[in-house]
Amino acid sequence: MSRHWQPALLDSRQPGGWALLHCQQQFLGDSNGLLFPRHWLKQQDLPIVAEHGIGHFDGEAVYLLELEQPLLLPGCAWQSLRQVMLQGEEDIFRLLSYATQIGTWARQHRFCGSCGGAMQALAGERAMHCPRCEVRHYPRLSPSMIVLVTRGDEVLLARSPRFVSGVYSTLAGFVEAGESVEQCVAREVREEVGVEVRNLQYLGSQGWPFPHSLMLGFHAEYAGGEIVMQVEEIEDAQWFSVHSLPPLPAPRSIARYLIDLYVARRLGLPEPVLPG
């Protein structure tokens, strides 16, 4: 059953609603899920450092309670966002993706980077404000590119040492200051696997909360060069036939979408839809 998540700026002084417990990109859950009655959570002896009204889920207000450290409650366990991405519902994942980005941003901006003063949440805006020097900080986004390099019926996939064993994926990297996304694609592909690309095609974007990336997805045609792996980043990189692919990333990811889309186009299959 599809459920509806809508971000919004809510006043944490209002009573009622549901609440999430968040710490270090993990959420506390029990057998009923990750949303708790807010009034019940606030009656527990928890080291809450901040509270944020983040939106509505199925029409009900949702608040984020940020903990200083990940303490346990009876019958509960902490779950990583990756676990939810692989196992949970899409709407719950969208809610948690937003929540963890707001929680991480606010936690990292408790003090002003200009003068060192204590920051305050700004009423009526999703912003942290320094009353001493008037600096404001809004939720952070870091643009990055993710690209599938193609050569006819072949795709170039690579493994990072951080990947799940056996899984191959697309190439990705963060955009540097003063660089266009297209320049980033060419640079990162050249740095990571030593080949050149051409004919970039932008295909969509996906917010990626690890912790605050905005992934801009591309297909790019191979233009020349031999695979030379960047040792500290790439464990293995190979050309794979669209008829014989290795284990791939999770279906909900933009990396998997880029691969599935290219395969569908080469084989004349229905095209997948990028998860929202």
Range with the poorest average pLDDT among 50-64, 74-88, 224-238: 74-88
Nearest to 83 by CA among 259, 252, 258, 256: 252
pLDDT at 140: 87
pTM of the model: 0.85
Alpha carbons 13 and 176: distance in angstroms, whole number: 40
In this prediction, residue 2 has a pLDDT band, given cuts at 50, 70 and 90, of low
In this prediction, residue 208 has a pLDDT band, given cuts at 50, 70 and 90, of confident
pLDDT at 276: 66
Beta bridge partners of 224: 196
pLDDT at 237: 97
Q: Domains plus CATH for the chain?
A: 5-107 (3.90.79.20), 142-267 (3.90.79.10)
Mean pLDDT of the 37-43 span? 91
Mean pLDDT of the 150-156 span? 98
Alpha carbons 202 and 181: distance in angstroms, whole number: 10
pLDDT at 94: 86
pLDDT at 219: 98
Mean pLDDT of the 243-260 span? 94
pLDDT at 1: 44
pLDDT at 53 over 50: yes
Tell me if 204 sits within 8 A of 274, measured CB to CB: yes
Alpha carbons 143 and 58: distance in angstroms, whole number: 30
pLDDT at 275: 76
Beta bridge partners of 173: 145
Amino acid at 176: E
pLDDT at 16: 93
Cβ neighbours for 158, distance < 8 A, ≥ 6 positions apart: 168, 169, 170, 171, 192, 193, 229, 234, 235, 236, 237, 238
CA distances from residue 241 to 235, 248, 269, 274 in whole angstroms, order as listed:
20, 13, 16, 22
CA distances from residue 40 to 18, 179, 181, 192, 253 in whole angstroms, order as listed:
9, 48, 46, 50, 34
pLDDT at 25 over 60: yes
pLDDT at 231 over 80: yes
pLDDT at 73: 84
pLDDT at 162 over 90: no
Tell me if 229 sits within 8 A of 44, measured CB to CB: no
Write phi, then psi, for 110 (nearest 5 degrees): -75, -20
Residue in this structure with the two tokens 């193609």, named with its chain if needed: 150
DSSP 8-class letter at 119:
P
Mean pLDDT of the 186-201 span? 98
pLDDT at 46 over 50: yes
Q: What percent of the chain has pLDDT over 90?
A: 68
Exposed, middle or buried, 53 (CB in 10 Å: 0-12/13-18/19+)? buried
Mean pLDDT of the 258-263 span? 98
Write phi, then psi, for 33 (nearest 5 degrees): 120, -155
The DSSP secondary structure of 204-222, one letter per residue, reads EEEEETTTTEEEEEEEEEE
pLDDT at 88: 65
In this prediction, residue 122 has a pLDDT band, given cuts at 50, 70 and 90, of confident
pLDDT at 239: 98
Q: For residue range 175-191, what is the model confidence (pLDDT) as tens digits?
A: 999 999 999 999 999 99
Mean pLDDT of the 56-69 span? 93
